[in-house]
Amino acid sequence: MASDYTKANLAADVPDVAAAMGVEGVSAHFAAQPLEAQQTGISLQRLEPGTRIPFGHRQNVQEEIYVVIAGGGRMRLDDEVIAVGALDAIRVAPAVIRNFEAGPDGMDLLAFGAPREAGEEATSDGEMFPGWWGDEDF
């Protein structure tokens, strides 16, 4: 029988998938499976100063909420760019293409997503857009 709770340290117990994918200046720890989450997802993402996540993404079903826990920078949501800082929470509808760029202090954020099917990785609901930032000066 499964326990009624699970505990995992987002940095120490959850693998960094960004490093495994060769993304420089970013760490991304997706914890749904290590936590045995049945309907939600959570990740810890860290961006080094001045680093931009090099692609946009959107979800098919999941609404996501991002909470900046340290540092700040900018977030692009479709064609709009907003400033974000510590303790800002941003809710994003599934169809909106989004991602982050860290300011001079870097950025740490938590991303929460739901609903999801049991056993499904939070990342499996999404669609990636390589080169989405382009050369534009956002």
pLDDT tens column, 22-76: 889 999 999 999 999 888 899 999 999 999 998 899 998 889 999 999 999 999 9
Specify burial of residue 33 (Cβ count, 10 A radius: 0-12, 13-18, 19+).
middle
Asked whether residue 21 is assigned to any structural domain, the reply reads no
For residue 68, give the nearest of 86, 82, 43 by alpha carbon: 86
63/112 Cα distance (integer angstroms): 8
Asked whether residue 131 is assigned to any structural domain, the reply reads no
CATH of the domain at 57: 2.60.120.10
pTM of the model: 0.87
Asked whether residue 61 is assigned to any structural domain, the reply reads yes
Q: Would you state the structure tokens that stand for residue 74, as one six-digit string?
A: 């900018």
Cα end-to-end span (Å), the chain? 51
Asked whether residue 20 is assigned to any structural domain, the reply reads no
Asked whether residue 35 is assigned to any structural domain, the reply reads yes
For residue 77, give the nearest of 60, 90, 63 by alpha carbon: 90
